[in-house]
Amino acid sequence: MRARGFTLIEVMAAIFIMVLVSVLGYGAINQAMKSRESLEERQAKLLAVQTTMRVMAQDFDQLALRPVRDAAGQSYQPVLVSGQNTQPYLTFTRGGWANPAGVQRPALQRVTYSLDNKILHRDYFPVLDALVSTQLIKRELLEGVTSVTFRYMDVSRQWRDQWPPQTTVQAAPGTSPGQVLNLRERPIAIEVVVDTVEFGKLRRVFEVPT
């Protein structure tokens, strides 16, 4: 008795089923790879946010009381200076500058926070008392930032949009009281609000050691 083979229709049906299964399998694998890439990208952005907050916490935890000379060398700038509508948004002196290479320099560092093209920067000067010719060392801290605001709590627990606050001093008899800046005055807390494309508004309040 002759063995019965497959008909052309049966072979074509088998090939069609195999191709269909392969296409479905490739689609599932491709979707899984895209989901993994999207998850890894989101995890990287979340890690960047966490790193930014950790850097800020370290900076504000080590605020130093050292004012710096201005670029002309004629006056001093406060240990922390900030305004809402000025760039950089925040400039301050901090201690604990790591020196693993043992370079001859102080442990104090002058740091600035600014926003440029939706990128939050944490830059610093290579010397403490910078000159006009001194170049900032730039570091990109966080991408996708649409705005950033800082507020400062003074010793009376009032929030201020700018720092340092002006203090009224008694003038000589017959003259009006004057306004002076305490160059060494620090806030007791700093509020940071970072508006991001990915996560929306992120708010954090940092306590400043006294």
Average pLDDT, rounded, for the chain: 85
User: How high is the pLDDT of residue 171?
Assistant: 44
pLDDT band with cut points at 50, 70 and 90 for residue 21: confident
User: How high is the pLDDT of residue 15?
Assistant: 77
* Backbone CA torsion sign across 140, 145, 147, 148: negative
Give the sheet arrangement for strand 80-82, strand by strand: 80-82, 90-94, 109-116, 119-124, 140-143
For 158, the token pair is 């009032």
d(C-alpha 95, C-alpha 79), whole Å: 11
d(C-alpha 40, C-alpha 191), whole Å: 30
Q: Which domains does the chain have, with CATH numbers?
A: 50-207 (3.10.610.10)
Residue range 9-18, pLDDT digits in tens:
766 777 777 7
Q: 3-class DSSP state for residue 127?
A: coil
Residue range 134-154, pLDDT digits in tens:
999 999 999 999 999 999 999
| Contact predicate 108/93, CB 8 Å | yes
Please indicate whether residue 13 or residue 110 has the higher confidence score (pLDDT): 110
Q: 3-class DSSP state for residue 27?
A: helix
Residue range 60-91, pLDDT digits in tens:
999 999 999 988 888 899 999 998 778 899 99
Q: 3-class DSSP state for residue 65?
A: coil
For 19, the token pair is 């191709």
Work out the angle at residue 159's Cα, subtended by the Cα atoms of residues 155 and 164, and round it to the nearest 5 degrees.
65
Please indicate whether residue 12 or residue 180 has the higher confidence score (pLDDT): 12
